[in-house]
Amino acid sequence: MDNIFDNITSYINAFVVGGIICAIGQILIDKTKLTVARILVIYVTSGIILTALGVYQKLVEIGGAGATVPLTGFGYSLAKGAFNEVDKYGLLGAFTGGLKATAAGVTAGGLCHKVTQPPSPCHVPLSRPLSYLSPNNNSLL
């Protein structure tokens, strides 16, 4: 019975921590003039900084997947991988550790994007010269 209670508690913690992280992002989108790309960079960078300060590990222990799945978790993975590799290989590990730690996730994301990407509606076959697509002629036929 304790195991079920522990599972439910970890699900609630993940939901709350992940929800807070996502709510902060939504507030930044709604209330500031920051672009989504800048917010992405802020999240990844803050994950790296909080990991370096030792704060994010505590958040991961409390929130589990709620802390590791959002973009701040990507920064956490980059920093943690770099720290681990620096311990093993010195300065070179600072450059390779983050790549090793996040390679599987980046690859999976790239593959999912490629598989689920719909055909582009703007695709124009280059069987005709590009001069055919003049500003005065919007026809693609």
Confidence (pLDDT) at 127: 54
Spans of all domains in the chain: 2-105
Query: What confidence tens digit (pLDDT) does each residue in 82-130 have?
Result: 888 888 888 888 888 888 888 877 787 777 777 777 666 555 555 555 5
Contact (CB, 8 A) for 97 and 83:
yes
Is the pTM value of this prediction over 0.75? no
Note the pLDDT of residue 130. 53
Residue 118 DSSP code: P
